[in-house]
Amino acid sequence: MEGQGYAGLTEPLLKSLGLTRKAQRLLHPELRPCNIARSMTAENNHYGSRLLHLRLPRVCVAIAGSDANEMLEKAEALARDNPFIELRLDYLPKPGLAPEKIREFTESHPHVAVIGTCRRLASGGKFRGPISSQLDLLGKVADAGCQLVDVEIQTAARMRSAQLDKLRGKAAVVLSFHDFRGTQKLDETLNKMTAFPADFYKIVSTATSLFDNVSMMKFLERHQDAHSLVGLCMGEQGIISRVLAARAGSAFTFGALSADEKTAPGQVTARELRSIYRIDQVDAATKVYGVAGDPIEHSLSPAIMNAALRRENVNGVFLALHAKSLKDLLACVKEIPIHGLAITMPHKQAILPHLDNTDPFTTKIGACNTIVRSADGKLYGFNTDTSGVVRPLEQRIGLQNAKILVLGAGGAARAAVFGLKDRGAQVFILNRHTEKGKKLARQAKARTMKRLDLKKLDFDVIINATSVGMGNTRESPLSADEIKAKYVFDMVYDPAETLLLKLAKERGCEVIAGSEMFVHQAARQFEIWTGKPAPREDMLKIVTQALAERAAARNGTKLISKAS
Ligand code: ATR
């Protein structure tokens, strides 16, 4: 029966089957087929088993509120686009007032699947009452139309089996366990949980490393055939588990209503899960790509890469991996079937010795920003920062003999210097620490220059490859009278107009924003990974819009982003 749909079942037909109103609601065409009752085939009198093989939507939106009215107003506003919600009764000051309101909601929204949750304080929720009150409330919300109720294992352990049975006669039970400290003993925990009959077993742990996501993913893969499981890792490091778990067979996952209404740490908004990560389409065949760095929170790569994957019809998903250490990242990459990985600060140079091979140009630059994993698991390194610098310039000027000043001598500067020398440009390097600049100049057969001489010289292009100006409009690597060039190109992409670019415009120079480099290097990565042409125009539009939104929302928080 798995995979069979119910889209042909009309309401009168459902009525004629003699099912309760609640069961009819669950069989409504908008709910997709699934294995809700797989774990309880022997218990045909239970509510869940009567629902046969229904599939719930992939993303459940957790909703809290300052009172029942507010919670259900939010549910009301969401209902159209989100046919699966969790009502957090434990967040309400008077949860006893909720069932009546919930009844009104479920009756007017038969297509919405609702989980009623009243998590006790001892299990990480906010409900302070005794277990008897918790069960009473769960029974009432089930009567009021919640098709599923969440019961923590701590509560189940103290219930009589007849009580659990009775509850399951009214609603499908999601038996849950939360670990707020780490991700450990997942198999052992499931073993303990399956001592209690339930319709779903939900295990939520906390990721303290990237590898914890791998443990969760493998756990789900091991047990998904035997039980209906829901698994994910909380915490900022666990964000990727929400997508990887869906790929590994988790029946559904949770998303926040909005960025400031998260009911669990590391929750991603439901909208992001659906529109950026396309979680509804993620399956075992979905290819995984990602960007790894520290910090990574502000990276725009997931937004543009996921859009490009969608545009080019690639069954793939692009994730942001918060790699606090290279060791954790490498362990994770080994286990996640990752096809392509973008590497950003601070791992671009340190990752090189861990790769199986790099192209000669990347070896010369000494920094890698793109990894491809071959079918046999080997990791190959490339550097697309070079094309990110060269392409926007080549679209404007001939590089042969062009006189170009590169500010900086770090990873991004190295990619620029080697790439420009390769195109025949005359390259001058100016770096804060002069020795480092001289070393790069020797390696790349470029020249260094003194800051004092700047005012005397004219350039075709000045490129800022330092991090000065990142996240603010106060700092510039050069003063106005030091800017003498036809073009000024800033690798810093946030803010969209850095102080350097503003000064350059005032001096009459043409400017090239960091977003161009960002998009070009990302486009090249996309082409290396997928073999398809990258939708550059779309990618640039997304970056430009995201930067404008950030600029509008900026409230003094320092954003960290450089076009590499
Ligand atoms: P990336 O890989 O993004 O290039 P990086 O390798 O850390 O990052 O390089 C940062 C560059 O910005 C370096 O050239 C650094 O100069 P030093 O080599 O002298 O450290 C430059 N940089 C950072 N902060 C700077 C500042 N306040 N003034 C001038 N240059 C700065």
Task: Confirm whether 535 is domain-assigned.
Answer: no
**How far away, in angstroms, is 154 Cα from ligand 1 center?**
53
Among 362, 383, 432, 493, which residue has the most ligand 1 atoms within 8 Å of its CB, making it the best to mutate? 432
Task: Confirm whether 522 is domain-assigned.
Answer: no
**Same-domain check for residues 118 and 267:** yes
348 is catalytic: yes
**Same-domain check for residues 299 and 280:** no
Asked whether 530 and 312 are in contact (CB, 8 A), the reply is yes
Please identify which residue in the block is written with the tokens 């909601």.
Answer: 105
Total domains in the fold of the chain? 3
State whether the beta carbon of 409 lies less than 6 angstroms from ligand 1.
yes
Q: Is the peptide bond before 57 cis (omega within 30 degrees of 0)?
A: no
**How far away, in angstroms, is 297 Cα from ligand 1 center?**
21
State whether the beta carbon of 468 lies less than 6 angstroms from ligand 1.
yes
Q: Determine the atom of ligand 1 nearest the C-alpha atom of 433.
A: 19
Residue 246: enclosing H or E segment and its boundaries?
Answer: helix 239-248
Q: Determine the atom of ligand 1 nearest the C-alpha atom of 431.
A: 19
**Same-domain check for residues 154 and 208:** yes
pLDDT at 484: 97
Domain harbouring 487, CATH code: 3.40.50.720
Asked whether 201 and 190 are in contact (CB, 8 A), the reply is yes
Task: Confirm whether 549 is domain-assigned.
Answer: no
**Same-domain check for residues 451 and 335:** no
Is residue 179 classed as helix, strand or coil in its secondary structure? coil
**Same-domain check for residues 183 and 319:** no
3-state helix, strand and coil shares in percent for the chain, rounded to the nearest 5: 40, 20, 40
Nearest CA to ligand 1 atom 7: 410
- From 307, 24, 272, 322, select the one nearest 145 (Cα to Cα): 24
Candidates 74, 101, 348, 484; catalytic one: 348
Q: Which residues contact 336 (CB under 8 A, 6 or more apart)?
A: 213, 214, 217, 244, 288
Please say which residue of 469, 485, 512 terminates a domain.
Answer: 512
pLDDT at 265: 61
Question: Cα(37)–Cα(35) distance, rounded to whole angstroms?
Answer: 5
Task: Confirm whether 8 is domain-assigned.
Answer: no
pLDDT higher than 70, residue 19: no
Q: Determine the atom of ligand 1 nearest the C-alpha atom of 475.
A: 27
**How far away, in angstroms, is 338 Cα from ligand 1 center?**
31
**Same-domain check for residues 328 and 467:** no
pLDDT higher than 70, residue 27: no
pLDDT higher than 90, residue 31: no
State whether the beta carbon of 369 lies less than 6 angstroms from ligand 1.
no
CA distances from 492 to 399, 463, 467, 476, 561 (A): 22, 10, 7, 11, 7
Write the burial class of residue 260 (CB in 10 Å: 0-12 exposed, 13-18 middle, 19+ buried): exposed
**How far away, in angstroms, is 433 Cα from ligand 1 center?**
9
Nearest CA to ligand 1 atom 6: 410
Is residue 512 classed as helix, strand or coil in its secondary structure? strand
**How far away, in angstroms, is 410 Cα from ligand 1 center?**
6
Please say which residue of 326, 360, 383 terminates a domain.
Answer: 383
Q: Which domain holds residue 256?
A: 34-284
Question: Cα(112)–Cα(24) distance, rounded to whole angstroms?
Answer: 12
Nearest CA to ligand 1 atom 14: 408
Nearest CA to ligand 1 atom 9: 410
**Same-domain check for residues 392 and 438:** yes
Query: Residues 175-224: pLDDT tens digits?
Result: 999 999 999 999 999 999 999 999 999 999 999 999 999 999 999 999 99
- From 56, 41, 53, 86, select the one nearest 197 (Cα to Cα): 41
State whether the beta carbon of 439 lies less than 6 angstroms from ligand 1.
no
**Same-domain check for residues 81 and 192:** yes
Asked whether 490 and 464 are in contact (CB, 8 A), the reply is yes
Nearest CA to ligand 1 atom 3: 412
Domain harbouring 332, CATH code: 3.40.50.10860
**Same-domain check for residues 278 and 143:** yes
Token digits for 309?
Answer: 């994957």
Q: What is the mean pLDDT of residues 450-456?
A: 94
**Same-domain check for residues 359 and 257:** no
Strands 426-430 and 447-448, sheet pairing: parallel
State whether the beta carbon of 431 lies less than 6 angstroms from ligand 1.
yes
**Same-domain check for residues 162 and 228:** yes
- From 110, 22, 518, 557, select the one nearest 308 (Cα to Cα): 518
Task: Confirm whether 548 is domain-assigned.
Answer: no
State whether the beta carbon of 411 lies less than 6 angstroms from ligand 1.
yes
State whether the beta carbon of 451 lies less than 6 angstroms from ligand 1.
no
pLDDT higher than 60, residue 26: no
Please say which residue of 351, 368, 383 terminates a domain.
Answer: 383
- Please give the mean pLDDT across all residues of the chain: 89
Query: Residues 301-358: pLDDT tens digits?
Result: 999 999 999 999 999 999 999 999 999 999 999 998 899 999 998 999 999 999 999 9
Among 466, 490, 498, which residue has the most ligand 1 atoms within 8 Å of its CB, making it the best to mutate? 466
- From 397, 450, 390, 377, select the one nearest 421 (Cα to Cα): 390
pLDDT higher than 60, residue 493: yes
Please identify which residue in the block is written with the tokens 């107003």.
Answer: 73
**Same-domain check for residues 357 and 226:** no
Nearest CA to ligand 1 atom 31: 466
DSSP string, 374-391: -TTS-EEEE--HHHHHHH
DSSP string, 415-454: HHHHHHHHTT-EEEEE-SSHHHHHHHHHHHT-EE--GGGG
Q: What is the mean pLDDT of residues 548-557?
A: 77
Residue 71: enclosing H or E segment and its boundaries?
Answer: helix 68-78
- From 21, 30, 35, select the one nearest 199 (Cα to Cα): 35
Task: Confirm whether 156 is domain-assigned.
Answer: yes
Among 296, 448, 467, 562, which residue has the most ligand 1 atoms within 8 Å of its CB, making it the best to mutate? 467
Task: Confirm whether 6 is domain-assigned.
Answer: no
Write the burial class of residue 212 (CB in 10 Å: 0-12 exposed, 13-18 middle, 19+ buried): buried
Write the burial class of residue 544 (CB in 10 Å: 0-12 exposed, 13-18 middle, 19+ buried): middle
Q: Determine the atom of ligand 1 nearest the C-alpha atom of 349.
A: 2
Domain harbouring 118, CATH code: 3.20.20.70
Task: Confirm whether 277 is domain-assigned.
Answer: yes
pLDDT greater at residue 263 or residue 14: 263
Lowest mean pLDDT among 6-20, 495-509, 530-544: 6-20
Query: Residues 243-299: pLDDT tens digits?
Result: 999 999 999 999 988 877 766 666 688 999 998 899 999 999 999 999 999 988 889
Per-residue confidence at 51, pLDDT binned at 50, 70, 90? low
